[in-house]
């Protein structure tokens, strides 16, 4: 009797293990795989998305494929020539179900350059755009992204004759809000990049050695 009972228990355990294994295989087979188009180049990989580019007419198209549901979203077009599209798409940040990135452009004369912040919800494909600053020229130095989609970024907005930064602006945007200018300085070293901390409900930074914080 004891041997029969042990045999029954062993069969039950084996059946449970087999069921769990088959369930895991079924889930893996139905999960979005984000197969790349022929000739595509991988730009970045994350557990939530795969970013890639494909060759288009006189430039490259950039895309994100969400590993959450297989949805594909276009990030932008980088042209071979000036004025043919964006100059660059970079600074990719993944947190939770969100992707933040920066698109860099310039005027057709190549005199001024500017950045644009973008946020993509990898669940729905919804995208939002934010100017990097309120100046004609801008360069994003650092970017913070929170799991609810909130953003904060530090931007160069002034340059001397040697193209060295001379002024800063600090911006933030809540999960559903517009971009807001939070701080600025004519000293390019007044707000250290590493001082930006985007926490649940708030943003903290240091300016001229003094701590500052605000609700985001």
pTM for the full model?
0.81
206 within domain boundaries? yes
pLDDT of residue 165: 66
Q: Is residue 163 part of a domain?
A: yes
Quick check: 210 and 195 in contact, CB under 8 A? no
Q: Are 51 and 122 within one domain?
A: yes
Domain end (from 106, 131, 156): 131
10-residue averages of pLDDT along the chain (216 residues): 47 45 40 85 96 94 97 96 90 97 88 91 97 92 97 88 78 93 94 97 97 96
Count of domains observed in the chain: 2
In a shared domain, residues 192 and 150: yes
Domain that holds residue 207: 141-216
Out of 80, 97, 131, a domain closes at 131
For residue 80, the 8-state DSSP code is: S
Tell me, yes or no, whether 175 lies in a domain: yes
Q: 48 with 110, same domain?
A: yes
Domain boundary pick from 131, 160, 191 = 131
122 shares its domain with 179 = no
DSSP string, 140-174: EEEEEE-TTS-EEEEEEEEE-TTS-EEEEEEEEE-
Q: What is the dihedral of CA 165, 168, 173, 177, to 10 degrees?
A: -120
Same domain, 37 and 117: yes
Does any domain span residue 18? no
Residues 124, 147 share a domain: no
For residue 77, give both structure tokens.
Answer: 């077009």
pLDDT for the residue 4: 52
Same domain, 45 and 87: yes
């Amino acid at each position: 009797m004891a041997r029969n009972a042990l045999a029954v228990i062993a069969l039950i355990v084996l059946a449970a293990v087999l069921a769990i294994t088959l369930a895991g295989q079924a889930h893996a087979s139905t999960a979005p795989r984000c197969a790349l188009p022929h000739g595509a180049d991988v730009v970045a990989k994350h557990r939530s998305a795969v970013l890639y580019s494909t060759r288009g007419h006189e430039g490259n198209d950039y895309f994100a494929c969400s590993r959450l549901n297989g949805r594909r979203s276009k990030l932008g077009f980088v042209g071979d020539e000036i004025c043919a599209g964006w100059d660059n798409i970079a600074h990719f940040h993944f947190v939770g179900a969100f992707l933040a990135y920066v698109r860099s452009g310039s005027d057709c004369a190549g005199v001024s350059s500017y950045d644009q912040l973008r946020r993509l919800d990898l669940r729905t494909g919804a995208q939002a755009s934010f100017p990097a600053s309120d100046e004609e020229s801008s360069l994003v130095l650092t970017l913070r992204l929170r799991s609810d989609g909130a953003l904060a970024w530090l931007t160069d907005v002034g340059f001397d004759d040697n193209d060295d930064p001379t002024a800063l602006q600090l911006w933030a945007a809540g999960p559903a809000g517009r971009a807001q200018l939070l701080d600025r300085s004519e000293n390019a070293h007044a707000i250290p990049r590493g001082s930006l901390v985007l926490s649940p409900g708030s943003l903290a930074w240091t300016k001229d050695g003094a701590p500052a914080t605000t609700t985001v």
